[in-house]
Chains A and B, each alone.
Chain A
Amino acid sequence: MPIYSEKVMEHFTNPRNVGEIDDPDGVGEEGNPVCGDMMTFYIKVKDNRLEDVKFKTFGCGAAIAVSSMVSEMAKGKTLEEAMKITPKSVADELEGLPKNKFHCSNLGAQALHKAIEDYLSKKKTKGGKE
């Protein structure tokens, strides 16, 4: 179906890092079923790096491909580097997204950022024990 790039189709049919992390260091949720897509990201952090990233997504082909791509881009990165992932850089890595899907389905970066913020705020309340 030519509405999606080959890269989108590849990530949609073989999504990476699908699932949940049992004892996550951070969780981030973005979107809602009314607008169509909903994504939850789970992260595991070690030495300020994203040791593991997993996601669950409810949504269209683009939403699933975006989540998969974000998880792949983020894994192994420092938190600062991961915060620099943007919807635009995700779409570029996917070799483009249909115009009407760019805003609605491209929520992966935001969901990841929320998971990182969740980790950072938990860390603060723990008083920086880690």
Chain B
Amino acid sequence: MRKVYLDNTATTPLLPEVREAMMPYLGDIFGNPSSLHDWGDGAREAIEAARDQVAQLIGANTDEMIFTGSGTESNNLAIKGLALAQQNKGKHVVVSAIEHFSVLHSARTLAKWGFEVSEVPVNKYGVVDPDDVRRNLRNDTILVSIMHANGEVGTIEPIKEIAVVTRERKIPFHIDAVATAGTIPVNVSELDVDALSLAGNQFYGPKGVGALWVRKGVRIIPLLDGGIQEGGKRAGTENVLAIVGLGKAAELAKAHITERIEQLIPLRDRLLKELSDRIEHVVVTGHPHNRLPGHASFCVEFIEGESMLMLLNSKGIAVSSGSACTSRALKASHVLIAMGLSHEIAQGSILFTLGIDNTNQDIDYVLEVMPSIVDRLRDMSPLYAKFTKTSKGGK
């Protein structure tokens, strides 16, 4: 059976070059980077080389980069660490309504600690309006955090314009760039932000490693206390192997970003257009064109995402969904609800996230398989039965 992996937002595969770069650190180069002997030197040099590679990916200074254990950890460190460091100036934090849970739930934890949190709404495409950010700022606002792009609907946010607002008021601005760093060009000077989270498994690096960049001069309180690894901002013996992989993946992403984007956009646009053409009552979610290059997301009306996902899986196609049934908590995606979609429509959420291994033949296969899966589930659906009866009755 044909196998088509279209869940690159969950994780990308590891590039062979990245795996090669990591191999020595599973073998001879096993030292602890904090050790002062030759064994330690080898590991330390590897980490510092990776730090440089990751810094170059986002146009940052090497010594402003903190390695972490994931994008989630980077976001936790940013939200809690930046807020705690500024709390003598105020206790108000602004985030958007469609942030990843690692930001939203960190903000909720801050609220339990006595901070106040405002959530900025989004429009029907999932776009944050910089004026809405401005309206939510107060004299005691000490942190703004908005994602660069949303991994569920693909929409890219107007970060530069929001940075103008935060810069005027001298409020630290963090962006969650997990969906964008290594995928589209990201430059911290151009964006004019103060902190940025990224993760290795979004651009063909290993899982379980991320980084947080914090502009020099912006204070942050560490979440993990212990030794003075990562400039004292993240204690604990470094995951040398994964950090080396992250560095190599960053170097490759920087070198190939344009060709990767040029490969992905036509495939994405084919899927967005032809799936909506071939199947009735399908809504594209997220911004129609200002979206991540490999991201095609939909809501298919009258049916539910998990059952679509499972039938696609039985045909060898991997996708994901934001339906309530797919989430462990059995709640519909907060992103789709914030964009104003009904629970009923949000239940039909399905997302195809393309990667550099995908081809036009993969898209052909999805377009061939998908309509019959939808038909089959609609034949079973009481909502579709009601719809067809009323629409016939209407005629």
Q: Write the residues of chain A forming the contact surface with B, with a CB cutoff of 8 angstroms.
A: 1, 12-13, 15, 18, 20, 29, 33-40, 56-64, 100-101, 104-105
Contact = CB atoms under 8 A, between A and B. Distances in A.
B2 interface: no
B87 interface: no
Nearest to A62: B325
A39 B379 CA distance: 13
Given A33-B343, A34-B343, A58 B314 contact: no
A58 B328 contact: no
30 contacts: A12-B310, A13-B311, A18-B380, A33-B343, A33-B344, A33-B347, A33-B383, A34-B343, A35-B324, A36-B304, A36-B325, A37-B325, A38-B382, A39-B382, A40-B382, A40-B385, A56-B380, A56-B385, A57-B381, A58-B303, A58-B304, A59-B304, A59-B307, A60-B307, A61-B306, A61-B307, A61-B310, A63-B325, A64-B307, A105-B325
B346 to A, nearest CB: 9
Contacts, number: 76
Interface string B314-332: 1000000001111011101
A36 B330 contact: yes
A58 B313 contact: no
Contacts of B302: 58
A57 B378 CA distance: 9
B304 A60 contact: yes
Interface of B: 302-304, 306-307, 310-311, 313-314, 323-326, 328-330, 332, 343-344, 347, 379-385
B325 A56 contact: no
B382 A58 contact: yes
From B314, B324, B343, residue with most partner A Cβ within 10 Å: B324
A95 to B, nearest CB: 17
B314 A57 contact: no
Given A56-B381, A58-B304, A13 B314 contact: yes
A33 B313 CA distance: 23
Nearest to B379: A18
Contacts of B328: 100
Contacts of A15: 380
B389 to A, nearest CB: 10
Contacts of B332: 34, 36
Given A29-B382, A34-B343, A36-B330, A1 B310 contact: yes
A107 B11 CA distance: 34
